[in-house]
Amino acid sequence: MFSKDKAVTECRSSGAPSILSAGMQVTGDIVSDGEVQIDGELSGDIHCAKLTIGETGRINRSVVADDCLVHGTVVGQIKADAVKLSRSSRVEGDVMHDMLAIDPGARRDGHYRRLDKSETDDPKLDLVVIDVDRGSF
């Protein structure tokens, strides 16, 4: 009658963003095909369609997104089609982008690198598969 997969798809396409609230700390990776807002602290990678890092938000690892708006802190690499660094942003790592906007006052310690659209299309290309039994990559 009701498919579990269909329910998950409908929930993901509802348009409501996932929010990691201020004061909340998460250790681990986040993967979403929707919008995510980080106002707390994430110690892990994040892969999502649209990411907003609030002024109190902090990410300690890498970001892969279609759109990334940074008001807070990222300690790690950002890889996105469109990146906007606001005046309150602090980035310690490289920013790989197709489109880039930087407000006066934004701080960054790292390099900027413009990517071809094909390099940001599939974040799965960045994943490494490890065969534990064979010990190979």
**What integer pLDDT is reported at residue 118 of this predicted model?**
62
Q: What DSSP line would sit under the chain, residue for residue? A: ---HHHHHHHHHTT-PPEEE-TT-EEES-EE-SSEEEESSEEES-EEEEEEEE-TT-EEES-EEEEEEEESSEEES-EEEEEEEE-TT-EEES-EEEEEEEE-TT-EEES-EEE--HHHHS-GGGG----BTTTTB-
In this prediction, residue 9 carries a pLDDT of: 27
Averaged pLDDT, groups of 10, the chain, 137 residues long: 35 71 96 96 97 98 97 98 98 97 96 77 44 41
pTM across the whole model:
0.76
